[in-house]
Amino acid sequence: MSLLDLAPVIPVVVIEDAATAVPLARALVAGGLPAIEVTLRTPAAREAIARIAAEVPEATVGAGTVRTADDIAASAAAGARFLVSPGTTPSLVEALEASGLPYLPGAATVSEVMALAERGIRELKFFPAEAAGGVPYLKALSGPIPDVRFCPTGGIRATTAADYLALPNVGCVGGTWLTPADALASGDWARVEKLASEAAALK
């Protein structure tokens, strides 16, 4: 199963307190979004991945903001089942390939997309989606490079996600709107589940 086909939206989650990881993951899964990208932007991220992997087996938890081989090794050790990078370098691609885990390398230009396609990589993260050209940019790419699919992430909102999902070269989108910081801080898991349910229904 492709990462891009697990659900229409992959929640991109910034976790400040690892204690929130399990109830957060359960709320997202209950709402219909099994794939969860925990970004490596906080000290709590790796513990959060480990807790979700151990206690929410129905979730497919991955690590985002992967930038180095050390990030890859630590994420795999924590139990991450996929990896997502914001951009791509030759050494990072080699480390991603060597990990044995599914991965979405980041790309934002035609040349980056072509370089990854030359390596046989056909599923990418498009980041930062809105800042890099958004829906019109990806639509333009689908003509000359029809065999590459994307998970655009960065600036996408509930009101714009469907526009991306309507494109033939978009399999899913990544979004932070599903896990508002105030909902996480207050433990409002019902709100998170509702947002996930609405996102899961997108086409």
pLDDT tens, residue by residue, 144-162: 999 999 999 999 999 999 9
Mean pLDDT of 124-138: 98
Mean pLDDT, rounded, for 75-90: 98
Check pLDDT > 70 for residue 116: yes
CB 135 within 8 A of CB 142: no
Give the pairing type, strands 106-107 and 103-104. unpaired
- Domain chopping of the chain, boundaries: 6-200
**Residue 194 is a catalytic residue:** no
> What is the per-residue pLDDT for 1?
67
Query: Active site residue: 16, 37, 130, 139, which one?
Result: 37
pLDDT of residue 9: 98
Mean local confidence (pLDDT), 125-144:
97
Q: What is the mean pLDDT of residues 42-62?
A: 98
Mean pLDDT score of the chain? 97
CA 103/CA 101 separation, integer angstroms: 6
Domain 6-200 in CATH 3.20.20.70? The answer is yes
Over range 184-202, report the average pLDDT: 97
Per-residue model confidence (pLDDT) at position 203: 81
Note the pLDDT of residue 139: 98
Examine the residue annotation and report whether 55 is marked as an active-site residue of this protein: no
3-class DSSP state for residue 174?
strand
Active-site residue, from 16, 94, 125, 194: 125
Per-residue confidence band for 60, with pLDDT thresholds at 50, 70 and 90:
very high
